[in-house]
Structure 1
């Protein structure tokens, strides 16, 4: 399925168009709908940090999806100050019709978070909730296959264990 064309912003207010604004090939998106879901977001970001060290082209972002009518200004709250510099740079806020956004991606609800692997504007893998070992192994296998299929790669010097 294709990732919807939406606009978001960084916490410092810079606008970004998605999915074209994603730097990774592929890109992991950790999607949350409430700030209180940080306890589910952080483990995915730890996994993504390890993947980014292993795969040169891989990138990840956190997407905090808020309703377009919300008056919440995430970038100006004290909560955003609690993020580390790297987390702050990777977080994007999407002000969209949340119901339409969820439906376009087949996301069932807002009670949990979702991890979406995007390649060439398409969602190629999707997981909900806490990252399980089988989900992580599946991501590693998929990324290993993509990395091996690249015509030119600098990964040959990286260890695979």
Structure 2
């Protein structure tokens, strides 16, 4: 399924158009609908930090999805000051019709968070809630397959990609 065309902004107010604004190949998105879901987001960020070390072109972003009518100004609240510099740089705020956004991605509700793996504008894998070992293994397998397909081994050095 295609990731919907939406606009968001960084906490500093820089406008970002999605999915074109994703720089990773692929990009892991951790989607939350309430600031209070930070405790569910953090375990995904730990996993994503390890993946970013392992895969060169991989990136991840946190998407805080708020209703377009919301007056919440995330970048100007004390809550944003609680984030580390890395978290601050990775977070995007999407002001959208939340119901339409959820429906376009097949997300069932706002009570939990979602992790979406997006490649070339398409959602290729998704999971709900905190990561478990099976979800992490599945994601690693997918990323390993993707890496092999993108960068086939070159003989006589099977562990290296041709540049």
Describe the SS at the equivalent of 1:8: strand
Describe the SS at the equivalent of 2:126: strand
- In 2: Cα distance, 1:130 partner to 1:5 partner: 26
Residue 31 (structure 1) aligns with = 31
Report the Cα offset of residue 151 of structure 1: 3.4
- In 2: Cα distance, 1:152 partner to 1:33 partner: 39
Report the Cα offset of residue 152 of structure 1: 6.7
Unmatched tracts of structure 1, length 5 or more: none
Residue 134 (structure 2) aligns with = 134
Matches within 5 A, 1:1-161: 1-151=1-151, 156=159
- In 2: Cα distance, 1:103 partner to 1:149 partner: 31
CA deviations on 1:41-95 (whole Å, 9 max, x unpaired) are 0000000000000000100000000000000000000000010000000000000
Describe the SS at the equivalent of 1:125: strand
Q: How many residues align?
A: 155
Describe the SS at the equivalent of 2:141: helix
RMSD: 1.1
- In 1: Cα distance, 2:122 partner to 2:150 partner: 18
- In 2: Cα distance, 1:75 partner to 1:121 partner: 27
Unmatched tracts of structure 2, length 5 or more: 154-158
Describe the SS at the equivalent of 1:141: helix
Describe the SS at the equivalent of 1:44: helix
Describe the SS at the equivalent of 1:2: coil
List structure 1 segments (4+ residues) > 3 angstroms apart after TM superposition.
Answer: none
Question: Of the two, which has the highest radius of gyration?
Answer: 2
